[in-house]
Amino acid sequence: MSILGLAAGLTVWVKTRPADPSYESTFVEFIWLAYPTGGSLTAFREKGEQMDSILRERKAGYLAGFTSRGDPPEIVEVELAVDLDLEAGKKLIEEFTALGIVPEDLEISAGTYPREDLLEARDAGW
Domain with residue 89: its CATH number is: 3.30.70.870
The domain tally of the chain equals 1
Residue 10, in any domain of the structure: no
For residues 114 and 93, the answer to whether their CB atoms sit within 8 Å is no
Question: How far apart (Å, rounded) are the C-alpha atoms in residues 91 and 22?
Answer: 26
Assessment of whether the complete model's pTM goes beyond 0.85: no
Amino acid identity, residue 91?
K
Residue 7, in any domain of the structure: no
Q: Cβ neighbours of residue 27 under 8 Å, at least 6 residues apart? A: 61, 62, 64, 81, 82, 83
The 8 Å CB, 24+ separation contacts for 14-23 are 23/56, 23/62
Residue 52, in any domain of the structure: yes
Q: What is the residue range of 84's domain?
A: 26-123
Q: For the ranges 14-18, 22-26, 49-53, 55-59, which has the lowest average pLDDT?
A: 14-18
Residue 11, in any domain of the structure: no
Determine the pLDDT at residue 123. Answer: 67
Give which of 112, 39, 38 is closest to 79, Cα–Cα. 112
What's the average model confidence in pLDDT over 66-77? Answer: 92
**Residue 25 — pLDDT band, cuts 50, 70, 90?**
confident
What's the average model confidence in pLDDT over 40-62? Answer: 93
Determine the pLDDT at residue 114. Answer: 73
Residue 31, in any domain of the structure: yes
Residue 2, in any domain of the structure: no
Residue 91, in any domain of the structure: yes
**Residue 4 — pLDDT band, cuts 50, 70, 90?**
low
